[in-house]
A = this chain, B = another copy of it.
Amino acid sequence: MRTRIYNARILTMTEGNKIINGEIRICGSRIQYVGEEKKDDTVWDREIDAGGNLIMPGFKNAHTHSAMTFLRSYADDLPLLDWLNKQVFPMEAKLTKEHIYDLSKLAVMEYLTSGITANFDMYLTPETIAEASVDCGFRTVMAGGVNDFSQSVEELEGWYQTYNQYHELISFQLGFHAEYTTGRKILERISALSHKYHAPVFAHNSESRQEVAQCMERTGMTPTAYMNELGLFDYGGGGYHCVHMTEEDLQIFADKKLSVITNPGSNTKLASGIAPVQAMLDKGINIGIGTDGPASNNCLDMFREMFLVTGLAKLKEDDASAVDADKVLYMATVGGARAMGLTDCDVLGEGKLADLIMINLRRPNMQPLNNLTKNIVYSGSKENVALTMVNGKILYENGEFHIGVRPEEVYEKANRIISSFTL
Contacts and interface: CB of A to CB of B under 8 A. Distances in A.
A363 B318 contact: no
Interface in A277-323: 294, 297-301, 303-304, 307-308, 310-312, 314-315, 317-322
Contact of A374 (B76, B110, B301): B76
A383 B396 CA distance: 14
A351 interface: no
B80 A320 contact: yes
A346 B70 CA distance: 33
Given A265-B311, A315-B271, A378-B269, A367 B411 contact: yes
Interface string A265-278: 10011110110000
- Residue in A109, A320, A415 with the greatest tally of chain B CB atoms within 10 Å: A320
A75 to B, nearest CB: 9
A371 interface: yes
Contacts of A367: 69, 72, 106, 410-411, 414-415
A298 B318 CA distance: 18
Contacts of A69: 364, 367-368
A375 B311 contact: no
Contacts of A110: 364-365
A415 B369 contact: yes
Given A307-B304, A382-B381, A270 B76 contact: no
Contacts of A85: none
Contact of A314 (B72, B268, B314, B315): B268
Given A72-B378, A73-B371, 20 more contacts: A69-B367, A72-B367, A72-B375, A73-B372, A73-B379, A76-B325, A79-B320, A83-B320, A113-B365, A268-B314, A270-B314, A271-B314, A271-B317, A274-B315, A298-B374, A299-B365, A300-B365, A367-B414, A368-B411, A369-B415
26 contacts: A69-B367, A69-B368, A71-B370, A73-B370, A76-B324, A76-B371, A77-B320, A77-B374, A83-B320, A268-B315, A270-B314, A271-B317, A271-B322, A297-B378, A297-B379, A298-B378, A299-B379, A299-B381, A300-B365, A301-B365, A362-B407, A362-B411, A364-B407, A367-B415, A381-B383, A382-B382
Interface of A: 69-74, 76-80, 83, 106-107, 109-110, 113, 265, 268-271, 273-274, 294, 297-301, 303-304, 307-308, 310-312, 314-315, 317-322, 324-325, 362-365, 367-372, 374-375, 378-383, 399, 407-408, 410-411, 414-415, 417-418
